[in-house]
Amino acid sequence: MMQTPLTMTQMMKRAELYFPKKQVISRTASGIHRFTYKQIAERTKRLADSLTKLGIEKGDKVGTLAWNHHRHLEAYFAIPCMNAVLHTINIRLSPQHISYIINHAEDKVLLVDPDILPLLEKCGSELKTVKAFIVMTDDNELPETTLSPVYHYEKLLTEANPNYHFPENINENDPAGMCYTSATTGNPKGVIYTHRGIVLHSLALGLADGGGISERDIAMPVVPMFHVNAWGIPFAGVWFGSTLVLPGPYFTPKLLAELIETEKVTITAGVPTIWLGLLKELESGSWDMGSLRAVLCGGSAAPKGMIKTFEQKYNIPFKHAYGMTETSPLALISTLKSYQEELDPEEKLELRSKQGTLVPGLEMKIVGKDGEVAWDGKEMGELCLRGPWIASKYYKDERTLDAFHDGWLHTGDVVSIDEEGFVKIVDRTKDLIKSGGEWISSVDLENALMAHEAVFEAAVVAVPHDQWQERPFACVVLKETFKGKTTKGELLDFLKPQFAKWWIPDDILFLEEIPKTSVGKFLKRTLREQVQKEVHK
């Protein structure tokens, strides 16, 4: 067979050749913009030419601090296809962490949205390697800024060569992108994505049994393009010629519902918090969601009640998935097997609330105290993954050995696996509650609480206990209409028939909000501290 490398160059080229009329629908501060792939492909070449003129060479890192929009999409292709490295920066991190990762990655140029400039200015004098800032603004003039030198994205493109030629000698193992993931303690850790990894991951997203992304799709990644490449949807979408809908900055659930209805979105993706918001909107408005063939949900476990409402009340197919920065991210997806379609609705719901089965192309093992666990849906062990789109290390980071050893990624997620190979995340290794030598799953308790009609969100954490080492403690945010009405006792009584006696939380704390990480996951460490204070009052 020919030794043709698996590189991203073919992706935008295919959209340009085969789908020049198809559209990218992009929302920015000034409204909705529509570009054809013919236009996007040309703009991508112009951006690569501009970056070349600014001195970007093979292997150089170019950072982006941007929402989901067409200019960010252009960066997604221009940078890797010129054999440089697309470094998407999580703008929800602290200025200290942002400075750290820009310096650690040695970004040479930064592409930044105008509303994110103030955040970047806070990093200003800390940045050691950045030679140029490019502002991705809709305005004709650059905003005032203390950063320098600053360039205007559109003006650079106007002056650039529309016939720029991407290099043809890219090695498939060359870095194409990078992303930093928050660590429990210390600075964020970087992961490098190669061309080969991104191409293979995109194929998995296109498999009928994977994401099924195709030319027919109108795909709206709500998950930010600074989170694990918006789960790879922009790559697969462009390659396969899907229409892309990029919802831009500061969207509301109402705006998402509007985009789904008017653009006839067929597939969308985001974290559970987004879908909780959308459900609220669907309850209050009258929306047509009939175009949706899949709502992909990952990032943290989706409560069963939410899946049930999507599927049974609104008839919207819900696809639970699992991944992390280290896994590109798609690793598990909860597609039912053909013969499972005949199960009754509750059994199907049970399966759909699990994270799913392994995507073709990867390998998995689940390691408990005594080796690999049984496929019984009960035994718990740590999920380990291996495969061509799984990271092999953290970028220049001594913490690599925490997660990568014996040729496997040790995810830190505690899971069980049932007879059919459906994996269920039980907890983070660090978040399990150990009571009297036995494990209690905080996630199971959270899901049960969130299935109660009065509960908007719930998080369960461990508190130290003299006799039992640790005991579970629940933090609950009630829905507006239930505040001041629903009591702790009611919620605990609701849990009792569902769990062993010793699993029932010792107490419940009502909160206005659950503190969350920048990627929308519960910030259990902060929550534990908050609960500690409460217990010792």
Of 287, 375, 439, 468, which is the active-site residue? 439
Minimum gap (Å) between residue 6 Cβ and a copy of itself: 7
Neighbours of 121 (CB within 10 A): 15
Please pick, from the candidates 127, 358, 366, 459, the single residue that binds a copy of itself as defined by CB under 8 A.
358
Q: Which lies closer to a copy of itself via its Cβ, residue 176 or residue 461?
A: 176
CA 150 vs. chain centroid, Å, equals 30
How many chain residues touch a copy of itself (CB under 8 A)? 54
Minimum gap (Å) between residue 312 Cβ and a copy of itself: 22
How far is it, in rounded angstroms, from Cα 405 to Cα 111? 35
- The radius of gyration of the chain's CA atoms, rounded to the nearest angstrom, is 23
Stretch that binds a copy of itself, among 2-10, 44-52, 132-140, 151-159 (CB under 8 A): 2-10
Minimum gap (Å) between residue 208 Cβ and a copy of itself: 4
Residue 231 annotated to the active site: no
Of 128, 378, 430, 434, which is the active-site residue? 434
Two structure tokens written together for 249: 């900055």
Residue 249 interacts with a copy of itself (CB under 8 A)? Answer: no
Cβ contact 23:7 at 8 Å: no
Residue 181 annotated to the active site: yes
Query: Within positions 162 to 181, which residues make up the interface with a copy of itself, using CB under 8 A?
Result: 173
Query: Within positions 178 to 217, which residues make up the interface with a copy of itself, using CB under 8 A?
Result: 192-194, 196-197, 200, 203-204, 206-210, 212-216
Q: Which lies closer to a copy of itself via its Cβ, residue 216 or residue 313?
A: 216
Please pick, from the candidates 164, 235, 240, 395, the single residue that binds a copy of itself as defined by CB under 8 A.
240
Minimum gap (Å) between residue 439 Cβ and a copy of itself: 26
Minimum gap (Å) between residue 91 Cβ and a copy of itself: 25
Query: Within positions 370 to 429, which residues make up the interface with a copy of itself, using CB under 8 A?
Result: 386-392, 407, 409, 420-421
Residue 67 annotated to the active site: no
Q: Which residue has the tokens 């990627």?
A: 519
Q: Return the exposure string of 89-115: e unless at least 16 CB atoms fall within 10 Å of the residue's CB, then b.
A: bbbbbeeebbbbbbebbebbbbbbbbb
Q: Strand 61-65's sheet: what is its strand order?
A: 150-152, 132-135, 107-112, 61-65, 85-88, 175-181, 189-194
How far is it, in rounded angstroms, from Cα 255 to Cα 248? 10
Residue 354 annotated to the active site: no
Cβ contact 299:521 at 8 Å: yes
Stretch that binds a copy of itself, among 12-20, 56-64, 124-132, 307-315 (CB under 8 A): 12-20
**Hey, what long-range contacts does 400-409 have (CB within 8 A, 24 or more apart)?**
403/326, 408/365, 408/384, 409/326, 409/327, 409/384, 409/385
Residue 330 interacts with a copy of itself (CB under 8 A)? Answer: no
The candidate with the shortest Cα–Cα distance to 200, out of 241, 243, 236, is 236
Q: Which lies closer to a copy of itself via its Cβ, residue 195 or residue 528?
A: 195
Is the torsion defined by CA of 246, 250, 252, 254 positive or negative? Answer: negative
Minimum gap (Å) between residue 155 Cβ and a copy of itself: 33
Non-local CB neighbours of 529 within 8 Å, separated by 6+ positions: none
Distance between the two ends of the chain, CA-based, in angstroms? Answer: 71
Please pick, from the candidates 55, 143, 345, 360, the single residue that binds a copy of itself as defined by CB under 8 A.
360
Cβ contact 423:417 at 8 Å: yes
Minimum gap (Å) between residue 326 Cβ and a copy of itself: 10
How far is it, in rounded angstroms, from Cα 226 to Cα 65? 8
Please pick, from the candidates 125, 148, 338, 467, the single residue that binds a copy of itself as defined by CB under 8 A.
338
Please pick, from the candidates 77, 239, 318, 394, the single residue that binds a copy of itself as defined by CB under 8 A.
239
Q: Which lies closer to a copy of itself via its Cβ, residue 209 or residue 490?
A: 209
Please pick, from the candidates 188, 237, 241, 329, the single residue that binds a copy of itself as defined by CB under 8 A.
241
Q: Which lies closer to a copy of itself via its Cβ, residue 285 or residue 360?
A: 360
How far is it, in rounded angstroms, from Cα 179 to Cα 191? 5
Q: Which lies closer to a copy of itself via its Cβ, residue 214 or residue 273?
A: 214
Non-local CB neighbours of 377 within 8 Å, separated by 6+ positions: 416, 417, 418, 419, 422, 424
Minimum gap (Å) between residue 429 Cβ and a copy of itself: 21
Q: Which lies closer to a copy of itself via its Cβ, residue 313 or residue 337?
A: 337
Using DSSP's 3-state secondary structure scheme, residue 175 falls into: strand
Q: Which lies closer to a copy of itself via its Cβ, residue 122 or residue 293?
A: 293
Q: Which lies closer to a copy of itself via its Cβ, residue 374 or residue 438?
A: 374
The candidate with the shortest Cα–Cα distance to 48, out of 84, 8, 82, 14, is 82
Of 145, 181, 400, 517, which is the active-site residue? 181
Q: Strand 318-322's sheet: what is its strand order?
A: 31-36, 23-28, 243-246, 218-221, 267-270, 294-297, 318-322, 332-333, 357-358
Catalytic residue IDs:
181, 326, 434, 439
* Residues at the contact surface with a copy of itself, assessed by CB under 8 A: 1-4, 6, 10, 14, 17-19, 21, 173, 192-194, 196-197, 200, 203-204, 206-210, 212-216, 239-241, 328, 335, 337-339, 357-358, 360-361, 363, 386-392, 407, 409, 420-421
